[in-house]
Amino acid sequence: MEVIMAKSAGFCFGVKRAVESVYEQIETGKKIYTFGPIIHNEEVVKDLEEKGVQVIENMDELGRITEGTVIIRSHGVSKEVYELIDKQGLECVDATCPFVKRIHRIVEKESGEGKKIIIIGNPGHPEVEGIRGWAVTETIVMESEKEVEDFLNDKNNGVLKNEELCIVSQTTFNYNKFKDLVEIFSKRGYNVSVVNTICNATEERQTEAKQIASQVQTMIVIGGTHSSNTRKLYEICKKECENTHFIQTLDDLHLELLKAASPVGITAGASTPNNIIEEVQNYVRINF
């Protein structure tokens, strides 16, 4: 069977850096915590837990810890998390993706100048929650044309056309969709300062996935169920190839690919380990 493998599949720079930082800290023998799962991949998180790494889920749990090292995950956190870590006298290892750090600096600066912050992204995603925590003015999160239109049509939204707005994006958001949503603000005549904060790796991954999916009969997208960037890859591929499948590991593959037709394309999210990608690729080549 012909298999087309995405060159951009697997760990991006930020995720690789974050995961490596946890394994390095394990070697110190100290008590290690991560604020939230270090990445959105269940297999990696499970392996770290087996090595003694504990996940802190919220500020209340963090406030009960008095010793050890807290690692900030690649998605980043709000400013108050850093403040609480310092207050508790804990060691902090900051593994926030540099692209996310850039957004924190932009939001802190622009909101400090009085601008309201519009974040294009998933309001429940930890990266977005962290970004909101760096603003000193109001933040508004939206991810669809309907949400933007409803917001702008709401006379009680509190935003005036002459008011300065700063628009940023979750790093893993669909680039074309981001442009479409920004255009709505511009066409309505709002005073917006737009900063494209989608990371280059995300744009390249999405572009390559779309290209491959348009050429194949079957498309496989590998990644964690909670991974935002993997979910977006799946949506992009599904539009190009109806026979697109979202799997986490090789165990999810068997039944899905009974309908497989050649050629098969494979891509993976930024939180997917290389060993899982290689297992799937080899299995498809040998068995189908």
Fold of 3-9+201-287: Cobalt-precorrin-4 Transmethylase; domain 1 (3.40.1010)
pLDDT in tens, 42-74: 889 999 999 999 999 999 999 999 999 999 999
The span from the CA of 52 to the CA of 241, in Å, is 42
Per the rule left: phi > 0, alpha: psi between -120 and 50, beta: everything else, 36 is: left
Q: Is the pLDDT of residue 259 over 80?
A: no
Q: Where are the beta strands (DSSP E) in the chain?
A: 3-5, 32-35, 54-56, 69-72, 91-94, 116-120, 139-142, 164-169, 191-194, 218-222, 244-247, 264-268
Active-site annotation, residues: 127
Return binding residues for isopentenyl diphosphate: 40, 75, 125, 227-229, 271
Return binding residues: 12, 40, 75, 97, 125, 171, 199, 227-229, 271
Greater confidence (212 vs 285) lies with 212
Q: Where are the domains of the chain?
A: 3-9+201-287, 13-96, 99-194
Structure-token match 């790093």, residue found: 171
pLDDT in tens, 155-185: 777 777 778 999 999 998 988 899 999 999 9
* Crossing angle for the helix pair 200-213 and 175-187, to the nearest 10 degrees: 110
Q: Residue 136: what pLDDT?
A: 96
β-sheet bridge partners, residue 247:
222
Q: Residue 285: what pLDDT?
A: 85
pLDDT in tens, 119-142: 999 999 999 999 999 999 999 999
The CA-atom distances, in angstroms, between 79 and each of 18, 36, 147 are 19, 15, 27
pLDDT in tens, 103-116: 999 999 999 999 99
Burial (CB count <10 Å: 0-12, 13-18, 19+), residue 142? buried
Q: Residue 258: what pLDDT?
A: 56
Greater confidence (81 vs 152) lies with 81
3-state secondary structure of 35: strand
Considering the chain, what is the average pLDDT of its residues? 92
Return binding residues for [4Fe-4S] cluster: 12, 97, 199
Q: Residue 159: what pLDDT?
A: 77
CATH number of 13-96: 3.40.50.11270
Burial (CB count <10 Å: 0-12, 13-18, 19+), residue 209? buried
Q: Residue 163: what pLDDT?
A: 83
13-96 and 99-194 have identical folds: no
Cβ–Cβ < 8 Å for 31, 25: no
Q: Is the pLDDT of residue 257 over 80?
A: no
Q: Are strands 54-56 and 264-268 parallel, antiparallel or unpaired?
A: unpaired
Fold of 99-194: Cobalt-precorrin-4 Transmethylase; domain 1 (3.40.1010)
Q: Residue 227: what pLDDT?
A: 86
